[in-house]
Amino acid sequence: MHTAMRLHAQGWNSVYLPKVLSRGLVPASLGAFYSQQLKWSRGAFDLLIRVYPRLFPRFSWRQRLHYLLLPLYFLSGVVTLIDIAVPTLALVTTTFPWRVGLGEFTLHILPFTALTLLIRLCAQRWLREPHEAGLHLAGGILRVGSWWVYALGWFYALINIKVPYIPTPKEGRPATEWKISLPNILTAVVLIGAAKYGRGLSLTPATQFMSVLVLFNAAILLAAVAMAQHGILESILRTAAGARPLRRLLLLADRWRGQLGRQLVEGLRPAAGRFAIGLVSLYCVALVGLHSYQNHYIALERQWWPTQPDASLHLGQLVALPTASTPPPSDSTALVALDMPATVTPAQLQALKQTLAARRGATLLNWELKPGNRVNLQQIKQLELDKLKFPVLLRPVLYTSSASEFVHDWQQLVQQVRNLGGPRLIWVWTPPQDESLKAYFPGINYVDWIAVDGRNTPATPAEWYNPVRAQLAPSIEMHSKPVLLLMASAEKAKVVPKQLSESFPEVKAVIFDQVQTSVSQTKQVSFLEH
């Protein structure tokens, strides 16, 4: 490649001769293959970084494009590293880079996958041997399994580490190569561990989706490891060949696989260009339709921000429960908090039900459970939350005598409400005290939001929230949850939303108490019957 670059830079022309003049041998082992790929990738990146810029002015535009794209094949190592790292970090930190539904993801990934296949099939028109055509799945698995070799070649080129030239062995006996497969084995173990750890923290659709991605990557890496164990594979094939029915079955499967691959290539390749144009056209039409759908329902979807917190800071107010003499909040789309008394009368329950039905935005429902009172689940059922079109955040206030009792009662309450059926409520947990937050945390599957109550303190928000924040940050379970702050109405004039968002990016909502009453929390006896 270096020689060709210098010749083209000096004005020489070259002609491609599609004729096999000499046949070569492939590396005899995985170690030899990795050694060869390390030399090639390091050399290609070195030419791109150091030689290409120097010869760039002397190239034609076609040559500039050719020598820019040619080394990028080996960049697949860095791309695979990103593919491995992103879902793994998302599972470990419970922070997801892209929140999208399965349908929308499928809309984006299927055309990309199909176009990749069509490009591969179209490129096979230059193959000289008919039997070389096919899907080349084994080659794709081997390329993914070489990710760390290509990434190492890229790194060596960046810091200018030389790779000695050693001729690649082309002969040898099949061997079992575990040591050279260790990077892929260890990476697969980390991926499987991340999937198990992430699913233990949360079973949300985003977690499930990321788990599928990491397990898919782990399966490809383990397949590449299995392909490298030539000694074991040869022994298995020799044993299988000894059994006559199994040998026939293996030969039939191999013949069927080859025929299917060739038929697919021969059928799609002549029309690959037309298929690609049609696919891109359909994709564009689908995108326009999706955009129109989102714009049509954007006002409705924005009201569901509590289920998928965005970058905005949402401000709301705590108002008195409407009665016959006090009308509901005038702005039905703003975030509103309402108190459900511990002992609620039928008239109060009916007023609360009517207020929720009239709402056109998210509602925070504070539910105070007095010590010794049994949980009246029928009150929640009578609100008919399953008929509401907008989210309800439920913030129970529990009174217990210990952290273990608090966690048990919270989990039992959540499970009881879930057993009622209906909509999935958004559970808001308020730490019952400023210390030992982790001991009182009910678990990531029982909490959706964290509320911090600063209404009964004369200190500034930074003074009363920072100590709590210092306990939330080290915990993977707690720091992944959005935070809601409860403030006195007098603080509203002092709050600058932009500054608050920059100082505390995890804070996604602030409620100002217009009623000037807050639910106190003291250590009392359990409210649930055990």
**Dihedral sign for Cα atoms in the order 106, 112, 116, 119:** positive
The predicted pLDDT at position 528 comes to 37
Model confidence at 268: pLDDT above 80: no
pLDDT band at 494 (very low <50, low <70, confident <90, very high): confident
Name the DSSP class of 254: H
Mean local confidence (pLDDT), 152-163? 92
Residues 6 or more apart in contact with residue 330 via CB below 8 angstroms: none
The predicted pLDDT at position 291 comes to 67
Q: Answer for the pair 364, 449: CB distance below 8 angstroms, yes or no.
A: no
Model confidence at 452: pLDDT above 80: yes
Longest Cα–Cα distance of the chain, Å, equals: 97
Mean local confidence (pLDDT), 399-404? 85
pLDDT band at 479 (very low <50, low <70, confident <90, very high): confident
101-108, long-range: CB < 8 A, 24+ apart: 101/205, 102/205, 102/209, 104/290, 105/209, 107/283, 107/286, 107/287, 107/290
Reported as a single tens digit per residue, the pLDDT across 201-229 is 766 667 778 888 899 999 999 999 888 77
Q: How many residues are present in the chain?
A: 530
The predicted pLDDT at position 300 comes to 45
Q: Is 58 exposed, middle or buried (0-12, 13-18, 19+ CB in 10 A)?
A: middle
Q: What is the DSSP string of 369-419?
A: --TTPPP-HHHHHHTTGGG-SS-EEEEEE---SSHHHHHHHHHHHHHHHHH
- pLDDT mean across residues, the chain: 79
* Residue pointed to by tokens 């535009």: 61
Q: Which of 15-29, 266-280, 393-407 has the lowest mean pLDDT?
A: 266-280
The predicted pLDDT at position 262 comes to 66
Mean local confidence (pLDDT), 33-52? 92
Model confidence at 200: pLDDT above 80: no
* Residue pointed to by tokens 């790779």: 163
Reported as a single tens digit per residue, the pLDDT across 73-110 is 999 999 999 999 999 998 888 777 766 666 677 778 88
Mean local confidence (pLDDT), 194-199? 87
| For the ranges 115-119, 327-331, 406-410, the one whose mean pLDDT is highest | 406-410
pLDDT band at 236 (very low <50, low <70, confident <90, very high): low
Both structure tokens of 106: 């499928």
Name the DSSP class of 496: -
Model confidence at 424: pLDDT above 90: no
